[in-house]
Structure 1
């Protein structure tokens, strides 16, 4: 099963990209890095520059039809940049329109608010997003990981890098329910 990891060209929290990627790859899934520009993305360790990762496709070159699930890593700058890109917002929205599972950690739910997919959903995030997400129609909870599984599809969310073990377990469980 191919799983899209959507990031901006700069600002993704490295551990929120690499740990879920590795967890999925170890189970035989095929993670692919999608960004708004070709080339490489620059990751960060909080505010410090970290590694770069090659982009597999841009949002303009692909669609949700090519993937069975979507992972949205956080980092403050990453989702803030993505929510300003119309193609990225449409790409995210298309996963919800298709009822495909989506996972978002830390600040990543900002793009979910921009995509207009949060009304009636329950989720968690970095605490500073609480008001933004409530204003977007969601119910915010303070949990290590929250799975919102409705007829509109599954949304897995988590608060921060320290919650990655629970986040990874949840995406492996929920994404495993999808048939390729």
Structure 2
């Protein structure tokens, strides 16, 4: 595989309850493409992954979101899981961290329930997105154009529906991270 992300630094924002495969598959693909990957969380220590409704592995947090700045990253990945984005959207520091990627026109990739946090950050209005189907109404009410597609990209915002979409999600996220800033992307 080419190292098209060599020299790039990509943040993964998660907390307890993330869908493990939605973190590990993109993590491995992005790292294999040459990027440095950093696990950012509002928690210190370890966070709990999930395989649907069963506990999976725990992962060591690299950087607390309180000390993180979007300026120090080239892109952001938001894994799903139900509890993870629900907790993140209640953490103003996490929401601000997400919003800053949009203010700086940097690519963001969110899968499954991950787009919930984008609603709280106020960055979906007028955008075409997809997600886990139960978020359709929330995203539509926030002004997004929700579509049922494997992977959607709108000015550097990559979204997918579920773990089955991970191959397309990873490929498109890497492409967007390699491109860098998107002048039309706004918060």
In 1, Cα distance between the equivalents of 2:146 and 2:94? 23
> Greater strand share, 1 or 2?
1
Match for residue 76 of structure 1? Answer: 82
* SS of residue in 1 equivalent to 2:67: coil
1:3 to 4, 10, 16: 10
- In structure 2, the residue matched to 1:155 is 157
2:119 maps to 1:117: no
User: What TM-score comes out, normalization by structure 2 length?
Assistant: 0.92
Report how far residue 57 of structure 1 moved.
Answer: 0.4
What is the match of residue 88 of structure 1?
Answer: 94
Distance of 1:178 and 1:121 partners within structure 2: 19
Please identify runs of 4+ aligned residues in structure 1 that moved more than 6 A: none
Deviation at 1:174, TM superposition (A): 1.2
Q: Does 1:126 pair with 2:132?
A: yes
- Among residues 41, 44, 53, which one is paired with 2:47 in the alignment? 41
Q: What CA distance in whole angstroms lies between the structure 1 residues aligned with 2:132 and 2:119? A: 14
Secondary structure class of the residue paired with 1:125? coil
* Unmatched segments (≥5 aa) in structure 1: none
Could you tell me the TM-score, scaled by structure 1's length? 0.95
For the aligned residue pairs, the C-alpha RMSD in angstroms reads 0.8
Equivalent in 101, 104, 113 of residue 107 of structure 1: 113
* Alpha-carbon distance, 1:37 to partner: 1.3
Aligned counterpart, 2:185: none
CA distance in 2 between partners of 1:159 and 1:125 (Å): 4
Instruction: Name the CA distance, whole Å, in 2 between partners of 1:54 and 1:66.
Output: 20
Residue 164 of structure 1, aligned match among 153, 163, 166? 166
Q: What is the aligned partner in structure 1 of residue 141 from structure 2? A: 135
Residues matched between the structures, number: 174
CA distance in 1, matches of 2:71, 2:123: 18
Matches within 5 A, 1:4-43: 4-8=11-15, 10-43=16-49
Q: Distance between the aligned counterparts of 1:28 and 1:41, measured in 2?
A: 25
Secondary structure (helix, strand or coil) at the match of 1:32 reads strand
For residue 65 of structure 1, the aligned residue among 71, 93, 99 is 71
